[in-house]
Structures are given as structure tokens and as C-alpha cells.
Amino acid sequence: MENEQNTNEAAAPSAQAADAQEQPAIDLILASGSPRRKQLLEDAGVAFAVRVSDVDEALDADLLADPPEAAKKLAERKAGAVVQEVLSEDYLGVAAVLGADTMVVLDGEIFGKPASLSDAKRMLRRLSGRTHEVLTAVSVWMVAAPEAEKISVGFRTFVDRAAVTFRDLTDEEITAYLKLGESFDKAGAYAIQGAGANFVDRVEGAMDTVIGLPVGRLREDFPDLMAPVA
């Protein structure tokens, strides 16, 4: 699903440098409280603010049956909620709001954040010795508000994918890992950037996609947003 809006006129070749200097600064906003996503952006060297808005993450049966669309929908809800908050505060300027959602998928089933210790154990047993897919959807909303009564909003949403293969896990390994406590706010009940890395045999795709924010893809698709701070 993509929806992009661009109201800028094409610049004449002789005026490109001058026009570039006149472009307003973009306020980058991460619509997520995830410390992992925050760390990925910090490591990329970009300037950003964090704003989190509670949204309904419930999914109907149609979306549960279509994990990529489900991830995109949740990313859009998160970003869209922050956009509404920003506009309600009479914001003036140009902002980019990033919403993201990460899902672990095995045999068509979405493995979200475990609801309990037994749920986390069930997930890890299912993932043991198998290859699962990690989907991270990112929704980028551009907000241009040069004047109070002149506002334009456009967004684009994409999904980045990676395949993660677990080695065979013993019940003792799963029990010891769960005692660490890093499972409970992670899709699939594991953290690849933490002790959960010990379960992984191989990763096909970008590691930042598995962690929760495909910074490499964002740099390719949105270079103006991801330019490091000088």
C-alpha cells in the first residue's frame, strides 16, 4: 500500500542548488516507544524526537490471515495517531512521522508479543529448528504545514522481510532463556539483539529488519530524512 504526495514543482536545472538550500528542515518523529528502534536511529546518526500514542492493535480475522497487510495496518495506525496529535497542537513546519510494526510469522501464524510465560514457551518450541519470517512494516507520513490553514499530509507504507532460522532448542535452554525476562515485549518471544541471538543459526535479510526498524531501507528510499546530523 502506498500513498505519496508531492506538491513541489520541478526545479529548473540552473536553480537546483539554490532551491536545495531553501528547503525547510524536516522534523523527524519516531512514533514508537521501542528502545530498540530508538537505538537503531541513534546509531544512524539522525536527529529525531520520540512520540508515542496508544492505539488499538486488535486485528480482525481478515488481517490475521494476511500478516504483511496486518503489519502495515498497525504501522499506519501508530504513525497516523501521532500525526493527529501533532496537527492538534497547531504545528507549523515540515515533519516526517515514522510508525513501525514487527511480526514473526511461522506457517501463516502471527507470533506477537507473548501473553504469558506459557505462551512464550509455546512460541519458542514452535520456532525451534525452523525457519520463520520476520516482517517489519514502516509507515512514513509527511506533514507540511507552512501556515495554520495550509496543511498537506501524505504517506507511504512498505514491508521489509527477513528469514530467521533457529537451531534445535532444548527445553532446558528455553526455560533458562525465559528466566532472563527479555521475551515478554518481543514479537516471537525472543530478542535477536540480546541473548536470543544464541538461538539463531542464520539470518537471510537485514538484521535491522529483524530488530524492528529497517534503517538501511529507509536510507535508500528516504535519503533526505535519514541524512546524518553534521
- Chain centroid to Cα 108, Å, comes to 20
Name the active-site residue from 66, 90, 101, 160: 101
Amino acid found at 178 = L
Q: For the chain, what percentages of helix, strand and coil (3-state, to nearest 5) are there?
A: 35, 30, 35
Q: Is 90 known to be catalytic?
A: no
Q: Which of 108, 111, 130 is nearest to 189 (CA)?
A: 111
**Would you give the DSSP letter of residue 131?**
E
Instruction: Kindly tell me the sign of the dihedral angle through the C-alpha atoms of 190, 193, 194, 195.
Output: positive
Q: What are phi and psi of 49, to 5 degrees?
A: -115, 160
Tell me which DSSP letter residue 115 carries: S
Q: Which residues are catalytic, by number?
A: 101
